[in-house]
Amino acid sequence: MNYHIIRTKLASAGIDTADLEARILLEDIAGIPKPEFFFRRDEALSEAVAQRIQAILDRRVQGESLGRILGYRDFWKSRFYLSADTLEPRPDTEILIEEVLRDHPSPQSILDLGTGTGCILLSLLQEFPHARGTAVDKAQGACVTATENAKRLGLENRVTVLNGSWFDPLPADSQFDVIVSNPPYIPSAEIRNLQAEVKNHDPILALDGGDDGLNPYKFLCSNLKKYLEPHGIVVLEFGAGQENDIARIVKDSGANLIRIANDLSGHPRVIKFTYGDN
Ligand SMILES: C[S@@+](CC[C@H](N)C(=O)[O-])C[C@H]1O[C@@H](n2cnc3c(N)ncnc32)[C@H](O)[C@@H]1O
């Protein structure tokens, strides 16, 4: 077995990211360092490594994502470990990080609502070494995983992880410079149409946004102002085709829209706004 064989097996199972996944398997399972990949990708693998990779391929072609099989996913600059209660971080969510970095020079306090693995908050804390973060998630298992990821990244002293629904676990008078969230946004009836690797492996609490997929945005936007410093910013991720509805919900809440940013495929994906002067 070598790179081309792995790649071909993945591609013939209809996996669009066959190149990338074959490369991850060679780097992570065969232990080929990234800089040596192009010189060593054709070398034959040992029997033991080939067997491990074959076992992963067997699960992968059955519709489990590579991240779920390996138990981690790389996001922004770090590796985030997953559990049954966490969404697998997606590359498009990195746009949210870019939008916070774009024009907020040095927030002191960041709130992440629905933190999952903690990938958004922990990545932002790595970028803003003087900031402190608060992560909230309704799933207790997600809170455990986010806490473990914070420890692995040496950020545990700058993070408070709270278990509960949205604003409920926050002290009443808390206010933040930056509030971020990638809430669940799939309309309930559409969940059964999602790819197997999503609907069978990502937790339902991380996906289900209610009848129209917009319930979390309506609830968040009717409460955000109270928890935001006067010149603070909010950055929210949303789903495909939701930009007009989200912009309306945001504006109806009295916010000033700063920008809607596109994802890696060019589709609107992230909205940034403030309740202060724009
Ligand atoms: C789409 S996932 C995003 C996870 C992570 N922030 C990311 O971007 O990978 C949404 C998260 O919101 C959490 N969640 C759902 N309803 C919630 C609620 N009422 N209060 C707090 N968290 C909630 C889910 O458990 C899940 O971790």
Q: What percentage of the chain's residues is helix, strand, coil (to nearest 5)?
A: 45, 20, 35
Residue 64's pLDDT is what? 93
CA distance 51 to 47: 6
In the numeric block, the tokens 């498009």 are attached to 92
* Best mutation site among 75, 137, 179 for ligand 1 pocket (most ligand atoms within 8 Å of CB): 137
Task: Report residues whose beta carbon is within 6 angstroms of any ligand 1 atom.
Answer: 87, 89, 93, 114-117, 119-120, 136-139, 142, 165-166, 182-184, 205-206
CA distance 208 to 106: 33
- pLDDT, tens digit, 9 for 90 and up, residues 25-42: 999 999 999 899 999 989
CA distance 75 to 38: 23
- pLDDT, tens digit, 9 for 90 and up, residues 46-100: 999 999 999 999 999 998 999 999 999 999 999 999 999 999 999 999 999 999 9
Answer yes or no: are the C-beta atoms of 26 and 41 closer than 8 Å: yes
- pLDDT, tens digit, 9 for 90 and up, residues 65-77: 999 999 999 999 9
Domain ranges of the chain: 3-62, 73-274
* Best mutation site among 182, 186, 202, 235 for ligand 1 pocket (most ligand atoms within 8 Å of CB): 182
CA of 17 to the centre of ligand 1 (A): 25
- 278: pLDDT strictly greater than 70: no
* Best mutation site among 74, 87, 93, 207 for ligand 1 pocket (most ligand atoms within 8 Å of CB): 87
Provide the token pair at 194. Answer: 């999602």
Helices first, then strands: H and E counts in the chain: 12, 9
- pLDDT, tens digit, 9 for 90 and up, residues 8-23: 999 999 999 999 999 9
Strand, coil or helix: what is 184? coil
CA distance 157 to 163: 17
Residue 82 phi, psi dihedral angles, 5° rounding = -105, 165
Look up residue 194 and give its DSSP letter.
S
- pTM of full prediction above 0.75: yes
Q: What is the CA radius of gyration of the chain?
A: 20
- 154: pLDDT strictly greater than 70: yes
Domain 73-274 has CATH 3.40.50.150: yes
Measuring CA to CA, how many Å separate 175 from each of 106, 138, 252, 278? 16, 20, 21, 19
